Structure 1
Amino acid sequence: MKVSVVSYDPGWTCRFEAERAVITAALHPLAPAIGHIGSTSVPGLAAKPIVDILVGVGAEGNLDETVGPMTTAGFTYVSAFERAWPARRFFVRLQEGAFPEIGAGSSLVIGRDVHSLTHIHLIVHGTPDWIRDLAFRDRLRSDAALRTAYTALKLELSAQEWPDMNAYNTGKDAFVKAAEAEALRRLERKR
């Protein structure tokens, strides 16, 4: 499958705001912290047209409490990835509507069989994962040379065939890990 990478669209911020309102209403009792992350959150950066949202809850015990309200709100729960990352609950808003869950035994491939508009990464607020995701976003927002290099890499990778979105993401992994590490070093120096 080919991965679509397109020029920055200011409408992605509006999509984030609309989704934030839905998530806030669904998870109101858990008082979630919600942030726009990923390439669609960085003005001027080319991206897959999928809005990534980071949602933080107060404790790991709250993670499973999110599944019912989020699926009721129209998101599809992707439990298939929990084995690899047990401290995250992953949800998507699909273009075609919602399945209640895409589980470990599912043959559906996101990006090939079903296409998503939004990815929600639900974790515990304030954890190292939380801090890293926001630091990387903020570094991309403030560093034009990094944005240019990241765009070039994504455009190069998007020209290739991939078995799934995870394989495409693996192609970006070394670049992202290096940029995240530098973002965290800069954040630490500011403290």
Structure 2
Amino acid sequence: MKRDTRIVIEAYNPRWSSTYEELKLLYQASLQDLLLAVEHVGSTSVVGLAAKPILDIDLVVADEAAMQKVISKLALIGYQHQGDLGIVGREAFKLNSANTPYSAFQREWPAHHLYACLTGSTPLRNHLLFRDYLRTHRAKVSEYGQLKKQLATLYPTNIPEYVAGKTAFITTCLKQAGISQDEVDQIIRQNNVP
């Protein structure tokens, strides 16, 4: 499935939250006791934050055995496993079509990124810490939204530069939220920031 690769930042949309809730119910029905939690993360999970209209969702699983079962079950509802993409503790999934996840309603879903994360893993912890930090620091929400708009204007089709441009802001917030310098260094390496 090919979607437009242009980076577009939109004003916060409350539909992002309601779409997440619909997807959460579908994941819970499909994966049942394999899930410890379903978390709405990323910019669309923060009320008032301008964002790319693409939801980020983390499925939280207990261990590697559960992860393998989750990967198999997600394939049945239209997700293609992409591996960890260099981020240990987090498995990424690609949508096979605009109707992914498949359901009895055969509806088209908005764009979303789906990850399965091991409970307690660094990627999950960082997603939750950053989301929760922004939810409790409203001035940072505005600052981050402006930064993303500037980066989208500078790099309208260059995702790596856009991501790299956000890294300093994200790591500063995460450090204020309590992560270690080693974890910050790991994030910088994963985002290919020189």
Same fold? TM cut 0.5: yes
- Matching residue's letter, 1:141: R
Consecutive aligned runs of 4 or more in structure 1 exceeding 6 Å deviation: none
- Matching residue's letter, 1:89: E
Give how far 1:31 is off. 3.0
Specify whether residues 77 and 131 from structure 1 end up closer, same or farther in structure 2 by C-alpha distance, changes over 3 A only.
same
- SS of the residue 1:155 aligns to: helix
- Partners of 1:56 and 1:68 in 2: how far apart? 15
- Partners of 1:76 and 1:138 in 2: how far apart? 29
> Is 2:141 the partner of 1:141?
no
- Matching residue's letter, 2:171: K
Give how far 1:151 is off. 0.6
Between the aligned residues of both structures, percent identity stands at 28
RMSD of Structure 2 on Structure 1 (CA): 2.4
- Matching residue's letter, 2:80: T
Specify whether residues 37 and 183 from structure 1 end up closer, same or farther in structure 2 by C-alpha distance, changes over 3 A only.
same
Give how far 1:19 is off. 0.8
- SS of the residue 1:78 aligns to: strand
Specify whether residues 52 and 32 from structure 1 end up closer, same or farther in structure 2 by C-alpha distance, changes over 3 A only.
same
Aligned residues between the structures: 168
- Matching residue's letter, 1:170: A
Give how far 1:86 is off. 3.5
CA contact (8 A) 1:22 1:73 kept: no
- Partners of 2:139 and 2:7 in 1: how far apart? 23
TM-score w.r.t. length of structure 2: 0.76
Specify whether residues 95 and 175 from structure 1 end up closer, same or farther in structure 2 by C-alpha distance, changes over 3 A only.
farther
Specify every segment of 5 or more residues in structure 1 that has no aligned partner in the other structure, as ranges: 99-115, 186-191
Specify every segment of 5 or more residues in structure 2 that has no aligned partner in the other structure, as ranges: 101-109, 180-194
CA contact (8 A) 2:7 2:157 kept: no
Give how far 1:45 is off. 0.3
Q: 1:183 aligns with which of 177, 182, 192?
A: 177
Specify whether residues 64 and 30 from structure 1 end up closer, same or farther in structure 2 by C-alpha distance, changes over 3 A only.
same
Q: How does 1:152-167 map to 2 (within 5 A)?
A: 152-161=146-155, 164-167=158-161
CA contact (8 A) 1:95 1:117 kept: no
- Partners of 2:114 and 2:32 in 1: how far apart? 16
> Is 2:120 the partner of 1:126?
yes
Q: 1:10 aligns with which of 1, 9, 14?
A: 14
Specify whether residues 165 and 77 from structure 1 end up closer, same or farther in structure 2 by C-alpha distance, changes over 3 A only.
farther
CA contact (8 A) 1:94 1:118 kept: no
Q: 1:56 aligns with which of 56, 60, 66?
A: 60
- Partners of 2:50 and 2:133 in 1: how far apart? 15
CA contact (8 A) 2:9 2:148 kept: yes
